[in-house]
Chain A
Amino acid sequence: AQSVTQLDSQVPVFEEAPVELRCNYSSSVSVYLFWYVQYPNQGLQLLLKYLSGSTLVESINGFEAEFNKSQTSFHLRKPSVHISDTAEYFCAVSDGAKKLTFGTGTRLTIIP
């Protein structure tokens, strides 16, 4: 069985400040890790993914996440946030069967 823990349900951050959204997972098999973003009144969108290779993955809008196998983590970071980053962020893990298990989400609020 696999599971995902997102300890922070809400994270308020001032605009242009850095942010880290934490994600820890547990799985008995090889894992594939994802971050999805959900903007208000919209569906989930894939932000970035780790399947294999480099443990540091980046998105097109400045977010990055690093797969840390020893700490079973896949934290999401951005060095400088913008108002448009306000959204809910979900970490997810998949095993070889492509079944996604999601965390409970972190609501990121950007303070002007």
Chain B
Amino acid sequence: EAGVAQSPRYKIIEKRQSVAFWCNPISGHATLYWYQQILGQGPKLLIQFQNNGVVDDSQLPKDRFSAERLKGVDSTLKIQPAKLEDSAVYLCASSLNRASYEQYFGPGTRLTVT
């Protein structure tokens, strides 16, 4: 069974530029999560999707971050414009459904904003 795929693995941009990350969850997983992991901290949930609907985006900085999962499969997270403090690893995870406690994580995208 293929795992959660993410791309790119690494990205370096200058502040005020835009960036997008892509995630393809495990086939058949209805629930998809985006986390931000700043160096030295644990992952923090940014947004949770159930199929193509948003379940929880309470910690997403909506003035600069956006995410979509239009067809209920893969998802894109965008930052526009980026700030220095956005430097982090962005993790995507998926689970079978909202009732499932087990989340499967992708390898992450390491973003550096200079």
Contacts and interface: CB of A to CB of B under 8 A. Distances in A.
Contacts of B40: 9, 104-105
A9 B40 CA distance: 8
Interface stretch (B12-20, B41-49, B70-78, B80-88): B41-49
A56 interface: no
Contacts of A7: none
Contacts, number: 52
Looking at chain B's contact residues, the main secondary structure is loop
B47 to A, nearest CB: 11
Given A43-B4, A43-B91, A102 B43 contact: yes
A103 B20 CA distance: 27
A10 to B, nearest CB: 11
Contacts of B104: 46
A47 to B, nearest CB: 11
A90 B101 contact: no
Interface string A33-66: 0101000011111100101000000000000000
Interface of B: 3-4, 40-45, 48, 56, 91, 93, 95, 98-108
